[in-house]
Amino acid sequence: MVTTGKTERFACVICVLLFLAGCSKKNEVRPDHPRMAPNVRMQDVTFRSMSLNRDIQYRVILPSTIASQRKLPVVYLLHGGGGNYQDWSNYSDVAKYAESGLILVMPEGASSYYTNAVDRPEDRYEDYIVQDLIADVESKFPVANERGKRTIVGISMGGYGAIKLALVHPELFVFAGGMSPAIDVPSRPFSIKRWGQWRSHRAIFGPWNGEVQHKNDPFVLVGTVDPKTVPYIFLTCGNQEGLLPANKKLSKLLAARHFQFEADFGPGSHDWNQWNGRLPQLFQILMKQMKVQE
């Protein structure tokens, strides 16, 4: 009995320590180390989102000097799962593209998939992006408020968000780029090994095979929207990624319905090393669609 008691107490101590360690990691402040370029400046903004009913942040990188009355093209950059609004500036060389006369906007997206969550009515992240964020950016910065000068790009979770938002709101963007987009998330089948992920996805997209899931599923949307109205789409995915089959499937559907798109499935893993290396290609296509000279 004594041995058993000691074992139980030891197990309890271990559980408490693991719990505290998890909390500590969760609450850990991530270092912010922007990779800036010459002739650009950075500004962090906190504003009140009516859709989320709370304050939220976004980061902007723009040219150091902008001529009076000039309105610049804008690129919205969506981060991936587990990241935040600082990621694009911290882990990529995207800042240098602001030197070409672009305004780069990096919003906070939590783990939302940039979608209005079914089970969390306070998390209307799609409305926050397309209504609140765009309006706030255009009220505070010299951004062109026309479709032909507005683009959206994302990695992983943000890649899904960029493609989905472009399909659902084609009137807003002229170009959408998905870098390793988690395009299959709404329809991803149940897996006991990923029970927590399944629950999280269902809280956002609703019941399996339900109406909300279908309304947010790019594979369904590609079959229902008019290809002539949709922004130019650019897909990238590394050949070492588990997301490659889903992205190849989407590419085939885009081709079958004659969407304007490009896909590049080359070497690489699901990491910033690959994404950063593909930025020159992505921005070349993006700027061509916006008719911006490099």
97-137, pLDDT tens digit by residue?
A: 999 999 999 999 999 999 999 998 899 999 999 999 999 99
Residue 157 inside a domain? The answer is yes
Rounded distance between C-alpha atoms, residue 13 and residue 207, angstroms: 38
Looking at residue 22, its pLDDT comes to 47
Residue 206 is part of which domain span? 36-289
Q: Are residues 72 and 119 both part of a single domain?
A: yes
Q: Which residues of the chain have pLDDT under 70?
A: 1-28, 190, 294
Q: Are residues 92 and 146 both part of a single domain?
A: yes
Q: Are residues 152 and 264 both part of a single domain?
A: yes
Looking at residue 89, its pLDDT comes to 98
Looking at residue 28, its pLDDT comes to 64
Rounded distance between C-alpha atoms, residue 57 and residue 62, angstroms: 17
Residue 294 inside a domain? The answer is no
Q: How far is CA 200 from CA 13, 105, 191, 193, 204, in A?
A: 29, 27, 13, 14, 7
Place of tokens 């990491």: 271
Q: Are residues 106 and 189 both part of a single domain?
A: yes
Residue 152 inside a domain? The answer is yes
Q: How far is CA 103 from CA 34, 137, 162, 243, 251, in A?
A: 16, 10, 17, 30, 29
Looking at residue 294, its pLDDT comes to 63
Q: How many domains does the chain have?
A: 2
Rounded distance between C-alpha atoms, residue 249 and residue 269, angstroms: 18
